[in-house]
């Protein structure tokens, strides 16, 4: 039997709340996605004023981070360096945009958090805040 550690609804809610609070603090809007260990969506928040394309981008960032076991931006960087098209990864949901980060538990991805709508650097910083909220829940 194989046991899988995966993110659930409560984890997603903590990540979304932390990221949403930071978005509000800085006066910006975006899309927040949280996926489980398979890369499938657990929760999504599209804030008022967020760019509509960011919905799909955030979901795809999560998918890529879990399936590839690394930040989505690293995939994009590797593709650019090798002049290798992302389409060769075999799934149209893979993306190389930064801002999707795997949530690693004992070296295995339990899911991912992604943010889309700002610069890649800002998306990554916000996704890191979401992961911190998942891995360090209030007691």
- Identify the structural domains of the chain with CATH numbers, from first to last: 9-132 (3.30.450.150)
Output the pLDDT for position 128: 98
Chain-wide mean pLDDT for the chain?
Answer: 93
Name the pLDDT band for 47 (thresholds 50, 70, 90): very high
Query: Which residues are paired to 96 by β-bridges?
Result: none
What pLDDT digit, counting tens, does each position of 50-77 carry? 999 999 999 999 999 999 999 999 988 8
């Amino acid at each position: 039997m194989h046991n899988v550690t995966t993110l659930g609804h409560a984890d997603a809610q903590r990540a979304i709340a932390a990221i949403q609070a930071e978005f509000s603090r800085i006066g910006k809007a975006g899309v927040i996605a949280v996926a489980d260990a398979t890369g499938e969506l657990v929760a999504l928040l599209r804030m008022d004023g967020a760019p509509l394309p960011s919905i799909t981008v955030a979901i795809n960032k999560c998918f890529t981070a879990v399936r590839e076991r690394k930040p989505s931006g690293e995939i994009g960087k590797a593709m650019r360096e090798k002049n290798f098209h992302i389409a060769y990864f075999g799934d149209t949901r893979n993306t190389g945009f930064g801002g999707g980060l795997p949530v690693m538990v004992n070296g295995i991805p339990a899911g991912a958090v992604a943010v889309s709508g700002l610069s890649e650097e800002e998306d990554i910083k916000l996704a890191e805040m979401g992961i911190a909220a998942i891995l360090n829940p209030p007691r």
